[in-house]
Amino acid sequence: MSTLPRLQHAQLSSELFKKLADLNMAVVRRGHVDPGLLHLVDIRASQLNGCAFCLDMHSKQAKLHGERELRLYHLPVWRESPLFSPRERAALAWTEALTRLAPGGIPDALYAELREQFSETELSDLTYQVMLINAWNRAGVAFLTPPGSLDKPYGLDKAGLA
C-alpha cells in the first residue's frame, strides 16, 4: 500500500462528487431494481476493482438492510454457491462483464440471460448502477479513501462489522 498522501477528492471536487451521489440515489429511488440486489452489485464490483473503501461501506450497508452475512462471504464464489437466485446470478454476471470489459464485448448469451430475468427498465437501471459503482471504485482506488472513515456520518457503525 502506498504511503504517499492522497487528495481529498470529495472536498476538492465537491460539486462533481454531489452530482455523482445524486445520480446514484436516483437509481435507488426509481425502485426498479431491489436495493438488496444493488448492494450485491456494488460489493461484487468493489471486490473486482480492489476498492477497500467501497467494499467496506457497501458490505455494511447490505448488513444494515438485512443481507445475511453468509451470502456476503459467498459473494466472491457466487457461481459455486447455492445461496443466490437466478436473477441475482444474472446481475452478478452482468456486473462482472461490465466491470471487466472483454475485447469481444458482452456475449449474446449473457445478454439473453439478463433479458429473461429483468425488464428493459430494470436492465437499464442495473447497468447504470454498475457504471456508477465502477466510477466510485476508481475514485476510491485512486485516492485510497480509508475504509471505515465515514462510518459514523453514514451510520455504518451500527452494522456491527467493525
- Residue 132 in 3-state DSSP? helix
Task: Say yes or no to pLDDT of 6 above 90.
Answer: no
For the segment 38-96, what is each residue's pLDDT rounded down to a tens digit? 999 999 999 999 999 999 999 999 999 999 999 999 999 999 999 999 999 999 999 99
- Evaluate whether residue 117 is within a structural domain: yes
Tell me if 36 sits within 8 A of 67, measured CB to CB. Answer: yes
Which residues have a Cβ under 8 Å from the Cβ of 102 and sit 6 or more positions away? none
User: Total domain count for the chain?
Assistant: 1
Residue numbers of the domain that contains 75: 33-156
- Evaluate whether residue 162 is within a structural domain: no
Mean of per-residue pLDDT scores for the chain: 94
Q: Alpha-carbon torsion 130, 135, 136, 137, what sign?
A: positive
- Evaluate whether residue 15 is within a structural domain: no
- Evaluate whether residue 73 is within a structural domain: yes
In this structure, what C-alpha cell is assigned to residue 159?
Answer: 452494522
- Among 23-32, 81-90, 112-121, the minimum mean pLDDT is found in 23-32
Q: What is the mean pLDDT of residues 104-131?
A: 97
Residue 144, domain CATH: 1.20.1290.10
- Evaluate whether residue 22 is within a structural domain: no
Task: Say yes or no to pLDDT of 1 above 70.
Answer: no
